[in-house]
Amino acid sequence: MDYLPIFLDLKQQHCLVIGGGSVATRKSKLLLKAQATVTVVSPEITDALKELVQQGQISWVQSLFSPTQINDQRLVIAATDDEKINQAVHEVAQQKNILTNLTDNPDGSDFIFASVLDRSPIIVAVSSGGESPVLARNLRARLETLIPPAYSKLGELMGKYRGAVKQKFGELRQRRQFWDTVLSGPVADHVMAGREGIAEQILQQQLADESETVETGEVFLVGAGPGDPELLTFKALRLMQQADIVFYDRLVSKEILALARKEAELVYVGKQRAWHAVRQEEINNLLLEHAKQGKRVLRLKGGDPFIFGRGGEEIDTLAENNIPFQVVPGITAASGCASYAGIPLTHRDYAQSCIFVTGQLKEGELNLNWSVLVKPKQTVVVYMGLAGLSQLSQKLQEHGMPADMPAALVQQGTTENQKVWLSTIDELPELAEREKPIAPTLLIIGEVTKLHDKLAWFKSG
């Protein structure tokens, strides 16, 4: 990263603003929010700054900039409309090791300002590194909707009891699990509803509880979707931030993994055709073993864990051993990849039903209900079908599917590597031999694939 994001304690610290226009006004008000002692230097200042002077909130030196004005300030902001003056300010401050910001000149500044979401004591700062302040403000505006003002009260409450929690729970993991329980339970719910008194009473009761139930482990079975990180659900993101250890599959991208809690241990347990990093029985036992140790275990699976994801097998082992678990559905590949390829799985003119099947071979054979798959006005989506593509094409035609039935292959759908090939069921094997698509590739069979050229909206890198 180009900049280190830090938060400075400016309470009662002297800060100097050179300039008296609208930019200087905004910077001065921001420094005041941080409880800094602000002095503005400029022959003229805005009415808003004059009002702050009259209220005694800032000091005003009514003069042009002079190097003698920079001495022992914590930081200096050069906010004039004269680049030469701003540069002179920076040179003087640099000689005295004082941090300086030059407005509209990130390359010449020691630090840059972020776009700030203030939920004190919770502060969120978003920066584009000076490349696009408008984009940073846009992102901050989105965060406004995700982080309601009540988080301020929640932060204050947690700060109030931080010492008591540290005294009761000697280990960091115990303290984190306690706070995770608080944040995902009735305490947070009451704070968000404006009932801080009730929330505090419940927090006190939980802190006084001698059972220390926070040692109980739990497993989160989370669907990571087909690849695009923005397709994750809010609940998936929240649980990913609570995990002590993450067991993830081959189809989970590094961008999605990066959203897990930074301190969490990452363990690869992916499987692919003819090679298993860790067998299914071992995965089941790993989830069980770590949950019994009191950990919060995240099982992160591509797509949806209950659609060809063996999620049912994994939580079955947990249920037999009375281990708490949660299941978070993800956008399955059929839905996600078809949408990004501009192929509606159902359409009033082309398909009134849709069926999902797996194309994995068992002992070299495909064992599917062929008569069901060849029904008219139906879309068939085949997961993991590359290896058996020739056999699939042959069997469908033997059971009555027209050789010219439209079909599409969608490789690595929803990602920047997405590719879409249109063909027919008869020509699919030849297409695959020629283009050599790589996994994961989804096969969609049906008249709806003809809509791709018209409805495709997603352009991959």
User: What is the CA angle 218-221-225, rounded to 5?
Assistant: 150
Type of residue found at 74: R
pLDDT digits (tens, 9 = 90+) for 136-180: 999 998 898 788 899 999 999 999 999 999 999 988 888 988 998
Q: Indicate the annotated binding residues for NAD(+).
A: 22-23, 43-44
**Closest to 161 in 3D by CA, of 202, 190, 217, 114:** 202
Mapped onto helix, strand or coil, the DSSP state of residue 21 is coil
Rounded to two decimals, the pTM is 0.65
Annotated binding-site members for S-adenosyl-L-methionine: 226, 302-304, 307, 332-333, 384, 413
Looking at the chain, the whole-number percentage of residues with pLDDT higher than 90 is 77
Q: 64-68, 116-120, 187-191, 389-393: which has the minimum mean pLDDT?
A: 187-191
d(CA 383, CA 410): 11
Structural tokens at position 18: 């050179």
* Backbone torsions φ then ψ of 178, nearest 5 degrees: -65, -50
Q: Which helix (H) or strand (E) holds 117?
A: strand 115-119
Which residue did the predictor score with more confidence, 64 or 361? 64
What average pLDDT does range 14-31 have in this prediction? 97
Per-domain boundaries in the chain: 14-113, 150-214, 216-331, 334-455
Distance CA 261, CA 243 (A): 6
Residues pairing with 444 in the sheet:
381, 408
The H or E element spanning position 433 is: helix 428-435
Q: Average pLDDT in the 92-116 region?
A: 93
Q: Among candidates 57, 64, 74, 68, which has minimal Cα distance to 18?
A: 64
State the Cα–Cα distance between residues 302 and 228, nearest whole angstrom.
11
Interval 424-439 mean pLDDT: 96
**Residue pair 113/27 in contact by the 8 Å Cβ criterion:** yes
pLDDT at residue 184 tops 80: no
| Main-chain phi, psi angles of 216, to 5 degrees | -70, 130
Per-residue pLDDT tens for 123-133?
999 999 888 98
Does CATH number 3.40.50.11540 belong to domain 334-455?
Answer: no
What is the rounded distance in angstroms from the CA atom of residue 207 to the CA atom of residue 203? Answer: 6
434 has pLDDT over 90: yes
- For the residues of 364-413, what is the DSSP string, one character each? TB----HHHHT-SSEEEEEES-STTHHHHHHHHHHTT--TT-EEEEEEST
CATH of domain 216-331: 3.40.1010.10
Question: What pLDDT is stored for residue 211 in this prediction?
Answer: 54
Nearest to 33 by CA among 155, 114, 118: 118
User: Which stretch of 176-190, 192-206, 349-363 has the lowest confidence by average pLDDT?
Assistant: 176-190
Q: Residue 274: is its pLDDT beyond 70?
A: no
Distance CA 392, CA 78 (A): 70
User: What pLDDT score does 316 carry?
Assistant: 94
Active site residues: 249, 271
Q: For residue 358, what are the contacts with CB-CB under 8 A and spacing of at least 6?
A: 308, 382, 383, 384, 385
Q: What is the mean pLDDT of residues 393-403?
A: 97
- pLDDT category at 192 given cuts 50, 70, 90 is confident
What pLDDT, on the 0 to 100 scale, is given for residue 190? Answer: 86
The arrangement of secondary structure in 14-113, i.e. its CATH architecture, is 3-Layer(aba) Sandwich (3.40)
**DSSP characters for 159-185?**
HHTHHHHHHH--SHHHHHHHHHHHHTS
- What is the mean pLDDT of the segment spanning 296-320? 94
**Closest to 420 in 3D by CA, of 368, 342, 331:** 342
The overall average pLDDT reported for the chain is 92
Report yes or no: 38 and 48 within 8 Å, Cβ to Cβ.
no
Residue 444 has pLDDT above 80, yes or no: yes
Q: Tell whether the model's pLDDT for residue 371 goes beyond 90.
A: yes
Q: Residue 390: what pLDDT?
A: 95
pLDDT band at 276 (very low <50, low <70, confident <90, very high): low
**Is residue 277 scored above 70 in pLDDT?**
no
Residue position matching structure tokens 């700030």: 116
Task: Kindly tell me if the per-residue pLDDT of 215 is higher than 80.
Answer: no
At residue 273, the pLDDT reads 56
Whether residue 210 is predicted with pLDDT greater than 70 in this model: the reply is: no
Torsion angle in degrees (nearest 10) through CA of 124, 128, 130, 136: -60
**CA–CA dist 448, 254 (Å, integer):** 32
Using the predicted structure, report yes or no on whether residue 364 has a pLDDT greater than 80: no
Instruction: Using pLDDT thresholds of 50, 70 and 90, give the confidence band for residue 272.
Output: low
H/E element, 272: strand 271-272
What pLDDT score does 320 carry? 95
User: Binding site, residues?
Assistant: 22-23, 43-44, 226, 302-304, 307, 332-333, 384, 413
How far is residue 1's CA from residue 197's CA, in Å, rounded to a whole number? 42
Q: Which amino acid is at 61?
A: V
- The per-residue pLDDT for 214 is 46
How many C-beta atoms surround the C-beta of residue 267 within 10 A? 15
Residue ranges in 21-82 assigned as alpha helix (H): 22-33, 47-54
Q: Answer whether residue 275 shows pLDDT above 60.
A: no
User: Please, is 56 exposed, middle or buried when counting C-beta atoms within 10 Å of its C-beta (0-12, 13-18, 19+)?
Assistant: exposed
| Over residues 224-242, mean pLDDT | 91
Residue 226 has pLDDT above 90, yes or no: yes
Which of 64, 57, 7, 62 lies closest to 29 in space, CA to CA?
Answer: 57
